[in-house]
Amino acid sequence: MSTRKRYWMMKSEPDAFSIDDLERVSTEPWNGVRNYQARNFMRDGMRVGDGVMIYHSNCKVPGIAGLATVASAAYPDSTQFDPKSHYHDPKATPETPRWFLVDVAFERKLKRLIPLEEIKQHTDELGEGFALTAKGSRLSVFPVTAAQWKLLLSLE
C-alpha cells in the first residue's frame, strides 16, 4: 500500500540557513522549530519522500528559493537538551522530548526566487487558508496542497 505524497513549506532565514547552505551540505536536520503546530506537522504529518518548498523569510526579498525532500522520519531535536543551545528547553528530557525534527535533503534551487509579493497576487487561487498569504500566520512549517504546489511551481 502506498501513501499519497504530501507537500510542505519550510521557512528559513537565509542568514541562518539558506537553500545554498542546504545544497552545500546535501541533507540537514531541520532543528530549532519551537511552535507546537509546526512540530506536529513534522512529527505527525511528514513522511520520507514528501516534497518541501524552502522559503526564505526575514530578508530583503522573502520568497520560495528551492525544493527539498523529507529525508527521515521525525525524531527528537537534540538542541532541546543542550543548555548551551539557543533552542534549549529545560522542560524537555530524553525520556519525554517535546520537540521533533526531520532531515531535509536538497533537491534543487528554483530558476529564480518566487517573491512573496508575487505569491500574494495569487491569494484567491491559493485559497483562504494558505499560510503564506493568511493574515497573522507565522508558522515556519505548514502543509501545501498538491494544487498549491503546482501553482507555485508554475510561477518559476
Q: Percent of the chain beyond pLDDT 90?
A: 89
Buried b or exposed e, range 95-131, using 16+ CB within 10 angstroms: eebebbbbbbbbbebbeebbebeebeebeeebeeebb
pLDDT for 3: 67
Q: Which pLDDT score, from 0 to 100, does residue 129 have?
A: 81
Mean pLDDT rounded to a whole number for the chain: 94
Please give the average per-residue pLDDT across 68-82, as a whole number. 97
Q: pTM of the prediction? A: 0.94
- For 40-68, what is the mean pLDDT? 97
- Report, as an integer, the average pLDDT of 100-122: 97
